[in-house]
Structure 1
Amino acid sequence: MSFPIPRNEIERLAALRTLKILDTDPTSDFDAAVEMAAAIFDAPIALVSFLDQTRQWFKAKKGLEVSQTCREIAFCNHTIFENRLFQVEDAPRDERFRRNPLVTGEPNIRFYIGVPLSLDGQTNIASLCVIDTVPRRATANQIAQLLRLREVVISLIRTHRIAIDARTAEKDARQRGKLLSQVERMSKIGAWSLDMDNLTTQWSPRTFEIHELEADQPPSLDGAIAFYPEHERERLTEAVRNCMEQGLAYQIETDFVTARGNRRRVRSSGELEQGEDGRKSLIGIVEDITAQHEHEQQMWRAAHIDTLTGIANRRSFHEEFRRRQAAPPPAPEQMALLMIDLDDFKDINDGHGHLAGDQVLSTVAARIANAIPPDAFCARLGGDEFAVLLSSVADVASAEDLAGQLIEEIGRPIVHGARTISTSASIGVARQGQANADQASAGEDSAGKDSLFAQSDLALYHVKQNGRGGVKTYEPAITDALEERRRAIALVRSAIAEGRLEPHYQPIVDLKTRKMRGVEALARIRNADDTVSGPARFWQALHEPQCAHEIDRVMLELALRDFARWKHEGCDIGFVSVNASSACIHSDTYLERVMEGLARHGLSPSDLKIEVVEGVFLDEDSNDVRDVLERLSAEGIGIALDDFGTGFASLSHLRDYPIDCIKIDKSFVIGLGENENNTAIVNALVSLGKSMNLSVVAEGIENEGQLDFIAALGSQFGQGYLFSRPMNATQLAEFATGRDHAGSWTVPDTGSRT
């Protein structure tokens, strides 16, 4: 397998040999760099890879067991050859890599991104890379962070080279008897001594350089201590005194200000020495560690600070939580957690661009940081999710009040260029006292972080499932509701997997002739004991998008199959109506799946009606919904608006969407003739349908009185228990036994009302 070789390969290999880094032991600073690289991309693998003549060797690695591979299969060959950021979005689809054993086998590379590492800007000796096992594309923000992290890694390599040079110099100095001057020159270390009899000092030339003083007369002990900031002097003075009086050696890292006013970071150490003549002196060194300290600070910031918003990141937040939890707050105050999620943030990115999205995140972070109390701690946990930790909350109401303030602050418009962006947030609140009580009642041994995070996350989920833009404090009922939802979803998924989800059909009847004109397919689950469960057992699953999408997919296929069989058997049924959820309508393949299903079963578009509820029209991408429904209608498929008059009813939906049928919800049919408001509403809806040339179906007709009233108001069609309960496909075919002379099916007047 061939690979690209840089033009300066000979010089590159020579520079790598000079560095003397190959096969050295792992170090915490390089390991921290790959940890951060993986965290930036939320990827499983990150490497610092040096490319030798026949192998690539990993100085630092995350998510990979091996420490080297043969060079010919290394993706990093392309990174150092290109001399710029190199990205592979989907390796199996890339002709250069699809047969690479790292792609076809472990670690199954799909995504790769790498940047070259060079000390002189021309000779690429290594790469910093991130690998994932799923295809993806790096965001602009991730790329920017990777490029900044590259500078940190280059600094680490440069520091390694300096250390190698220093060790080499030290060895040479010993051989030549010039150890002190050589170490000082290479390592920024100065030596000093203090005669304890007369308190006079002696400094090496490098010590003068560190202090930025002319190399003539060193200052006194008090004068030397004066170079340190006032808040550090007491600590240093006490260390020197203990060394002089008790012989206790010391080493202190501290800030330092030179004679020219430049801030430095130094490491000072000293110990007591007694000469052959009995004279005692204090000897020590002072080391300029400014560069090392800045690197450490840069690495700390990379590990703990969110680079986009400037507030703490997820790792820092969890560390802070553990720190505060280790020191319990005084009673009766308790720790509380606010989980914050921006509503519809994806739409901001899609509609205004990622730069606008980044500004929104930065602005929201600043608003949260400015609004919370001084002792609170906030962080961006990732994406559009933030968290606020409160150490002293007297009661839940206090946390809710702060959450309400944050909702208002976050909701203020954000100006981006010439545009104004509207934002909103949902917040879940949990209090540690409640979390501990719930865990204790559940028989768990440890209470705290996991429970508090889980409860605030559940409260947040509750808000987002119930309209968004609000605050909800955790209560046990939320867990109960979510557990019911989980069971409902599990029930539906197992029914689909085992072929136990089946359509039952309810006739849609012409109210004048009582002839069956069509049927509506309703989802039912056949249990192991052959009983049938209706939606009361699994209605929560209908509100879970993926689950609803699967239900719709199965129901469409089975309904078309059954309808084709009825036609083959000679049943005169005009159409079958199936429900379509919002998740289904928004699927890119829905229209194609419907048309392919009709063709596969030999049916025409007029054999099918699609029923939708008005909530489908309220999504941000309602234009896409309109496009799908218009294309379905253009093919000849009927569109019915189900449960009309409830929820978010709007006449504009009838005007703006290709609706040809409205179905009056059964809640209005109940009480007709007894409740004046119901009667008025049904009358208005029937009249509206007639005026707009729409078919009107009244749902939930259960007795003759309701039927007579509905018919008198002018509704053409109806369905309900008066005519028939829902039946499976075989029962429906058997039910259609009332043939008239014209050969059409007639719903019996009696016998189907129980």
Structure 2
Amino acid sequence: MAIARQRRFWTLALIPALTLATLAAGLPSWALGALVAVQAALLWSALRDALALGARSEPRGHALMRDRKGVLDLLNAQGLGTAQGAAAALAVRLDDAPRLARQLGATSFAALRDTLAERLALSLRDQDLFCALETDGFGVALQAQRGLDLGGILAVAQRIQSRLSAPLPINGVTLWPSVSIGFCLSPRAAMLNGLDMLQAAEAAAERALRSGPGALNSYSVVDFPSTMTGDRVASLRRALENGEIRAYFQPQIEASTGAVSGLEALARWQHPQNGLISPGEFLPQIEAAGLSPRLAERMLREALTALKELDAQGLQVPQVSVNLSAEELRNPRLADEIGWELDRHDLAPERLTVEILETVVARGEDDIAVRTIARLSAMGCGIDLDDFGTGHASIANIRRFAVGRIKIDRSFVTNMHADPDQQRMVAAILSMAAQLDLGTLAEGVEHPEEQVKLAQMGCGHLQGFAIARPMPASDLPGWLRAHLAALEQGEPWVENAEDARQAAGPHKP
């Protein structure tokens, strides 16, 4: 469209030459006047089109700039994670803004902000968004991408600071603006104080301004501890004691045979008034209230009880796995307590697997956690490394923590049947695991074709909605019998693929 308009404009520009040629040919004056009138009308039409085209060619900053709601919509949609990772929020604040506003006056200060907005847009990708903050700055939503970790955020923040700090002439004076930036990578950390990610980033930016100029600050539960009320803590404690918060179980299968190889115990809150509450809402509050050890104790007992009851019904499940946080692993008595529970339920240690996050292994300096895990491994318990690929654990620490199996994070699994890049990532993880003699389990399998592809690639075990959703212990016997019957008849056992996709979401935080 723009090219066509340009050609039309330049074609019309030849009309004066044609007019001169007509004049030289000796046409009557009325014909010449008519030609001039037509030329004027056509030139005005072309000029109007050119002006309209220019008005619609917005600067890049206008294309990325939204209102606050637009930025929050992106963060809310992707904050807890997608197949490509998790989104992040930044708050960019102009250092010494009150003084600059007084010095420049309203008009020039507005021009400064407009220029900074254009520079900010040039620092972001087309899919990222930003908005103006009520304070002197901008809120930024970085769309989810793999590898958007602390290092990636710092690189983006430094790029923004470099671009926005370039000299800027205003009213004959050269300004050297600088900005301080706060950022939030964890929506769960923000939830602890009832904030959204952008509000958390603004709180971090406020702290950065006080450290300024050109400072960076992150929002974390360490720097901004939770403001849990006594009533909320009491509510969580009651839910743990009366069984509202209890274990649900998600089956795991062998990829090559379809046989059930284990169960994972996952915390769920069945609230009497609000129904099933997402673990992403209550688990951060459990941690902030100091109730994580109490939750771990309940999950362990319910997991071992479920395994024992299945044994009594002749439904053999090789093992059950429970998740333990870094705080729980720092309990020097944890291995003894787990040993007592195994004895009380008359179960061999091999029937229990402990799942630890890769972020725990990445922080390999925690000697108490190392000793605890080493004792559990020596007892015979399995050690699974959860969410592999998201925490940058070194191979040395994987060995140091006696890891026996890695769980491939769902961000690598989702849509891998149709994405060659995803397949190459999974193939690299499987190759590394084979070289280190580690078992493998892919989590977040939500499509039957993902299940088939992973089995073809040599992944050992599978877990996800395409196989089974988490279920209460009372539903396990029925599911196990139906699954066994399907295997005996040679039928593949997957739930309806469309149902699996609609129900897909984080299985656990």
Q: Normalization by structure 2: what TM-score?
A: 0.52
Residue identity opposite 1:564 in structure 2 = K
- Alignment partner, residue 393 of structure 2: 649
> Which whole-Å CA distance do the structure 1 matches of 2:218 and 2:388 have between them?
33
1:578 deviates by 0.3
User: Do residues 564 (structure 1) and 323 (structure 2) align?
Assistant: no
Residue identity opposite 1:728 in structure 2 = P
1:737 deviates by 1.3
Residue identity opposite 1:688 in structure 2 = M
For residues 62-73 of structure 1, what are the structure 2 equivalents within 5 Å?
none
Match among 274, 277, 280 for residue 533 of structure 1: 277
Residue identity opposite 1:635 in structure 2 = M
1:619 deviates by 4.3
User: Do residues 507 (structure 1) and 254 (structure 2) align?
Assistant: no
Match among 586, 608, 629 for residue 373 of structure 2: 629
1:532 deviates by 2.2
- Alignment partner, residue 674 of structure 1: 418
User: Do residues 703 (structure 1) and 447 (structure 2) align?
Assistant: yes
> Which whole-Å CA distance do the structure 1 matches of 2:267 and 2:486 have between them?
32
Asked if 1 retains the 8 angstrom alpha-carbon contact of 2:362 and 2:393, the reply is no
Which structure's residues are more often helix, by fraction?
2
Asked if 2 retains the 8 angstrom alpha-carbon contact of 1:488 and 1:537, the reply is no
User: Do residues 717 (structure 1) and 461 (structure 2) align?
Assistant: yes
Asked if 1 retains the 8 angstrom alpha-carbon contact of 2:430 and 2:440, the reply is yes
- Alignment partner, residue 749 of structure 1: 493
> Which whole-Å CA distance do the structure 1 matches of 2:489 and 2:344 have between them?
26
Q: For 2:291, what is the secondary structure of its paired residue?
A: helix
Asked if 2 retains the 8 angstrom alpha-carbon contact of 1:662 and 1:695, the reply is yes
Q: Deviations over 1:347-401 (max 9, x none)?
A: xxxxxxxxxxxxxxxxxxxxxxxxxxxxxxxxxxxxxxxxxxxxxxxx999xxxx
Closer/same/farther in 2, CA of residues 746 and 506 from structure 1, 3 Å limit: farther
Match among 333, 354, 357 for residue 613 of structure 1: 357
Q: Deviations over 1:207-249 (max 9, x none)?
A: xxxxxxxxxxxxxxxxxxxxxxxxxxxxxxxxxxxxxxxxxxx
Residue identity opposite 1:496 in structure 2 = L
User: Do residues 585 (structure 1) and 347 (structure 2) align?
Assistant: no
Closer/same/farther in 2, CA of residues 551 and 428 from structure 1, 3 Å limit: farther
1:673 deviates by 3.5
**Larger Rg over CA atoms:** 1
Closer/same/farther in 2, CA of residues 750 and 396 from structure 1, 3 Å limit: closer
Asked if 1 retains the 8 angstrom alpha-carbon contact of 2:354 and 2:382, the reply is yes
For residues 282-321 of structure 1, what are the structure 2 equivalents within 5 Å?
none
1:617 deviates by 2.8
> Which whole-Å CA distance do the structure 1 matches of 2:384 and 2:232 have between them?
27
1:707 deviates by 1.0
For residues 259-298 of structure 1, what are the structure 2 equivalents within 5 Å?
none
- Alignment partner, residue 414 of structure 1: none
> Which whole-Å CA distance do the structure 1 matches of 2:393 and 2:456 have between them?
24
Residue identity opposite 1:612 in structure 2 = I
For residues 65-84 of structure 1, what are the structure 2 equivalents within 5 Å?
none
Closer/same/farther in 2, CA of residues 620 and 672 from structure 1, 3 Å limit: closer
- Alignment partner, residue 405 of structure 2: 661
- Alignment partner, residue 438 of structure 2: 694
For residues 52-451 of structure 1, what are the structure 2 equivalents within 5 Å?
none
Asked if 2 retains the 8 angstrom alpha-carbon contact of 1:503 and 1:559, the reply is yes
> Which whole-Å CA distance do the structure 2 matches of 1:702 and 1:550 have between them?
31
> Which whole-Å CA distance do the structure 2 matches of 1:747 and 1:549 have between them?
42
> Which whole-Å CA distance do the structure 2 matches of 1:558 and 1:661 have between them?
23
Q: For 1:495, what is the secondary structure of its paired residue?
A: helix
> Which whole-Å CA distance do the structure 1 matches of 2:418 and 2:231 have between them?
39
User: Do residues 734 (structure 1) and 478 (structure 2) align?
Assistant: yes
Q: For 2:314, what is the secondary structure of its paired residue?
A: coil
User: Do residues 497 (structure 1) and 497 (structure 2) align?
Assistant: no
1:493 deviates by 3.0
Q: For 1:671, what is the secondary structure of its paired residue?
A: coil
User: Do residues 576 (structure 1) and 320 (structure 2) align?
Assistant: yes
**Count of aligned positions:** 300
Residue identity opposite 1:598 in structure 2 = L
Asked if 2 retains the 8 angstrom alpha-carbon contact of 1:507 and 1:520, the reply is yes
Q: For 1:546, what is the secondary structure of its paired residue?
A: coil
Closer/same/farther in 2, CA of residues 661 and 747 from structure 1, 3 Å limit: farther
Q: For 1:685, what is the secondary structure of its paired residue?
A: helix
Closer/same/farther in 2, CA of residues 714 and 535 from structure 1, 3 Å limit: same
Q: Structure 1: any 5+ residue segments left out of the alignment?
A: 1-330, 334-394, 398-426, 430-454, 464-469
Residue identity opposite 1:503 in structure 2 = A
Residue identity opposite 1:494 in structure 2 = R
Asked if 1 retains the 8 angstrom alpha-carbon contact of 2:324 and 2:354, the reply is yes
Closer/same/farther in 2, CA of residues 605 and 471 from structure 1, 3 Å limit: same
Closer/same/farther in 2, CA of residues 750 and 657 from structure 1, 3 Å limit: closer
Q: Deviations over 1:685-705 (max 9, x none)?
A: 111112222110001111121
Asked if 1 retains the 8 angstrom alpha-carbon contact of 2:468 and 2:494, the reply is no
> Which whole-Å CA distance do the structure 1 matches of 2:357 and 2:489 have between them?
29
RMSD: 4.1
Q: For 2:387, what is the secondary structure of its paired residue?
A: strand
Asked if 1 retains the 8 angstrom alpha-carbon contact of 2:332 and 2:372, the reply is no
1:653 deviates by 2.3
Q: For 1:738, what is the secondary structure of its paired residue?
A: helix
1:629 deviates by 1.0
Residue identity opposite 1:573 in structure 2 = V
Asked if 2 retains the 8 angstrom alpha-carbon contact of 1:459 and 1:472, the reply is yes
Q: For 1:593, what is the secondary structure of its paired residue?
A: helix
> Which whole-Å CA distance do the structure 2 matches of 1:677 and 1:634 have between them?
38
Q: Structure 2: any 5+ residue segments left out of the alignment?
A: 1-96, 100-134, 138-179, 183-199, 209-214, 500-509
Closer/same/farther in 2, CA of residues 641 and 485 from structure 1, 3 Å limit: farther
1:486 deviates by 9.3
> Which whole-Å CA distance do the structure 1 matches of 2:476 and 2:465 have between them?
14
> Which whole-Å CA distance do the structure 2 matches of 1:736 and 1:461 have between them?
54
Match among 288, 299, 313 for residue 544 of structure 1: 288
- Alignment partner, residue 519 of structure 1: 263
Asked if 2 retains the 8 angstrom alpha-carbon contact of 1:697 and 1:716, the reply is yes
Closer/same/farther in 2, CA of residues 461 and 658 from structure 1, 3 Å limit: farther
Asked if 1 retains the 8 angstrom alpha-carbon contact of 2:310 and 2:477, the reply is yes
> Which whole-Å CA distance do the structure 1 matches of 2:380 and 2:206 have between them?
40
Match among 298, 309, 315 for residue 554 of structure 1: 298
Q: For 1:609, what is the secondary structure of its paired residue?
A: strand
Closer/same/farther in 2, CA of residues 581 and 462 from structure 1, 3 Å limit: farther
1:560 deviates by 1.2
Closer/same/farther in 2, CA of residues 490 and 751 from structure 1, 3 Å limit: same
Asked if 2 retains the 8 angstrom alpha-carbon contact of 1:545 and 1:583, the reply is no
User: Do residues 683 (structure 1) and 427 (structure 2) align?
Assistant: yes
Match among 335, 343, 350 for residue 599 of structure 1: 343
Closer/same/farther in 2, CA of residues 667 and 750 from structure 1, 3 Å limit: closer
> Which whole-Å CA distance do the structure 1 matches of 2:474 and 2:285 have between them?
27
